[in-house]
Amino acid sequence: MTGRRDGQDAPARVAAGAPSCPRRLVVVGGGTAGWMAAAAFSRFLESGWQITLVESDAIGTVGVGEATIPQIRLFNAALGLDEDDFLRATQGSIKLGIEFVDWWRQGHRYMHGFGATGRDLGLIAFHHYWLRAHALGLADDLGVYSANVTAALANRFDRAAAQPSQSRPYMPHAFHFDAGLYAAYLRRHAEARGVRRIEGTISRVNRHPESGDIGSLALESGTEISGDFFVDCSGFRGLLIGEAMGVGYEEWSHWLPCDRALAVPCARVQPITPYTRSTAHEGGWQWRIPLQHRTGNGMVYCSGAISDSAAADTLLAHLDGAALAEPRPLRFVTGRRAEAWRGNCVAVGLASGFLEPLESTSIHMVQSAIERIIAFLPAGKPDARAIAEYNRQTAFELERIRDFIILHYKANERDDSAFWRQCAAMPVPDSLAGRIELFREAGRIFKDGNELFTEVGWVQVMIGQGIVPERWHPLADQLSPDELRDFLALQKHLNTERAKSMPPHDAFLARQCAAPADLEMMA
């Protein structure tokens, strides 16, 4: 979404062929997914739509998606949200990338930073020059040539410094935020635009006997909510898409064996680092997400490799501050719905599938689903071809993100546990196996259509996980060793000086978007 910031209606509103009578869209489930959907629909659908969100205060939300990728800025801007106001309201902080600790080998770390790494020269990408310099002993770690990685590890950020120039490439950023506060923030925004919220628990889903479409929802209170189109944001349960519509689930646990998580907040520590950290442990990995008022932590693990109690002990032993609650358990099955859209029902968020939040894609997948719905939402009866294309695009996106996450597990040289040895030995999807071999051979990497992750992202993780090609594009040989050394040194120098010009991340937050003290008490 790339809507304007002036508060006027964006031109992407669904207007062609819109009926004169109101159409009824019902979102089932609140939380981040539900309120992101309701807020976006209230902004971008034709005014004839009536939007209702049904949620139960008795049903909790998962709320582990507190780290994001830069595309969230487009979503917020399209809604007309002010970035500083959003950060204040959600106890937010800045994110420049993700640090991976102990993933390739114990004691090793690298960062997947947003934005460019180095500067492409001539017809070939920067990493080919780095590969040659690395082989000659002239290169530092790949991360020092990334502006984002350099600033992140220096704990510095300035929004003005993120603007591109001839010598300074674009430096994108994302956010860490409290997912519960974000949902509440979007709820206020959506209700101000006319979204109606109904509190209650759904007891029955009524379907049309002939078409099989959903006609209405019956609540335990006796209220019945009719609709023309339903968006299932009911979480893992998949109340509409799974239970009512009978859409099956494609499981990917043979590639991604983690099936449980524990989440716990701890006291904030200084400095508030502008990056997410992922640390590999026996049987899984731990996330660390720094917010203004606390640090979010969690352990994603395989129940067949480590017990629940041992996972909790590992998590609590590696917190930066005192735990503020007992670890909250979650269970999941990695995979996706066979169809995200069937009939007049489309699933968004956890109802459509689950991929562990290793690369902070959970909220982005909600965002991209909402964008597709707006693009495909029919003015009249759903078109079978449009639904099929929506499902194809959804499957493609999830499968490519799946491959990127599998790469972190597959390309490891840890020998400390059966879990990591099994991950290294497991067969992977052909789509990933081919990409690994193409890169391993001579550093070749290509983006496949509209997949999420760029070539630069793939290169950072491939090399970070120990896949370093022995050959590079021969055009990189045109520089002499001295020219090559100077070229890389200049990229490193520019990034170092750029980071020095920025204020500490803590100082930026205090100056621009410090959350009020009473919000800390509410969170």
Q: H/E/C letters for each residue in 151-218?
A: HHHCCECCCHHHCCCCCCCCCCCEEECCHHHHHHHHHHHHHHCCCEEEECCEEEEEECCCCCCEEEEE
Residue type at position 198: I
Q: H/E/C letters for each residue in 475-517?
A: HHHHCCHHHHHHHHHHHHHHHHHHHHCCCEHHHHHHHHCCCCH
* Whole-Å CA distances, 294 to 73, 176, 264: 22, 11, 10
Q: How far apart are the first and last CA of the chain?
A: 29
The set of residues, in sequence order, having a beta carbon less than 8 Å from that of 8 and lying 6+ positions away, is none
Helix (H) / strand (E) containing 467: none
Determine how many CB atoms are found less than 10 A away from the CB of residue 42.
Answer: 22
In contact, 491 and 145? CB cutoff 8 Å: yes
Active-site pick, 95, 381, 410, 447: 95
- Give the C-alpha separation, 70 to 116, whole Å: 13
The first and second tokens of residue 483, run together, are: 């020219």
Q: Is 95 a catalytic residue?
A: yes
* Whole-Å CA distances, 154 to 149, 273, 348: 8, 9, 37
Catalytic residues: 95
